[in-house]
Amino acid sequence: MIMFLVFAPFSGFIISKLGRIRPTLIGSLIAAIGFFGLFFFHYSPPLVAGTLAIIATGLSLIQVGAFNIVLESTPRHLSGTSLGTTVLLNLIGGAIGPAIAGIIMQMNQISVIGTSGNIGTFPSPQSYYLIFLITALLSLVSVTLVLIMKRNSTTQTIAGKIWK
């Protein structure tokens, strides 16, 4: 969150210099690298912190760029509805991800016997591998969608403007 807080204000400046799609693509690539880094290097706290910082950097570019794309691609009289729908979908996605991770962790439990003889169940290491793999693969979907948007951006007309 600290990286997101530090980097998010600079995302607006970056988007004003590079356009809307290019920073969104760069952010998607950075986030994908971070998610794959989390999948491969989650065995120590410093590595997890580093990959989470990379992910936050990419997500801040994605979020600012995506909101900018939505606002500039929507007719002015529909911008409130468009932005509201975008925020709603963002919040729904933020709620679904942890729920799916919780389901995966609950499905993959291991039993542990403590020093007092009590048995407890905890998520297995495989559940974390699976969660990190799913997020890494979903980040590739994001990169693919931005690449498709970039390819179609020069020919697509939205709200009477050429979208570049």
CATH number assigned to the domain comprising residue 122: 1.20.1250
The larger pLDDT score, comparing residue 95 to residue 6, is at 95
Confidence of residue 129 (pLDDT cuts 50, 70, 90): very high
The larger pLDDT score, comparing residue 125 to residue 164, is at 125
**Residue 6, C-beta contacts closer than 8 angstroms, at least 6 positions apart:** none
Asked if residue 79 belongs to a domain, the reply is: no
Asked if residue 17 belongs to a domain, the reply is: yes
Asked if residue 102 belongs to a domain, the reply is: yes
Confidence of residue 30 (pLDDT cuts 50, 70, 90): very high
Retrieve residue 81's tokens: 């509805």
Q: Could you count the other beta carbons within 10 Å of the beta carbon of residue 23?
A: 23
Asked if residue 30 belongs to a domain, the reply is: yes
**What does the alpha-carbon distance between residue 123 and residue 106 come to, in Å, rounded to a whole number?**
7
Residue 131 has pLDDT above 50, yes or no: yes
Residue 117 has pLDDT above 80, yes or no: no
The larger pLDDT score, comparing residue 164 to residue 152, is at 152
Asked if residue 91 belongs to a domain, the reply is: no
How many helices and strands in the chain, by DSSP H and E? Answer: 5, 4
**Residue 113, C-beta contacts closer than 8 angstroms, at least 6 positions apart:** 119
**What does the alpha-carbon distance between residue 163 and residue 32 come to, in Å, rounded to a whole number?**
25
Instruction: Note the pLDDT of residue 132.
Output: 93
Domain that holds residue 11: 2-73+98-162
Confidence of residue 154 (pLDDT cuts 50, 70, 90): low
Asked if residue 40 belongs to a domain, the reply is: yes
Q: Mean pLDDT across the stretch 64-68?
A: 84
Query: 109, 148, 124, 131: which is closest to 25 by C-alpha?
Result: 148
Length of the chain: 164
Asked if residue 26 belongs to a domain, the reply is: yes
Provide the number of structural domains found in the chain: 1
Asked if residue 152 belongs to a domain, the reply is: yes
Determine what percent of the chain is predicted with pLDDT higher than 70: 92
Q: Mean pLDDT across the stretch 89-105?
A: 93
Q: Mean pLDDT across the stretch 82-96?
A: 90
Residue 112 has pLDDT above 60, yes or no: yes
Determine what percent of the chain is predicted with pLDDT higher than 90: 38
| Average model confidence (pLDDT) across the chain | 85
pTM for the full predicted model: 0.80
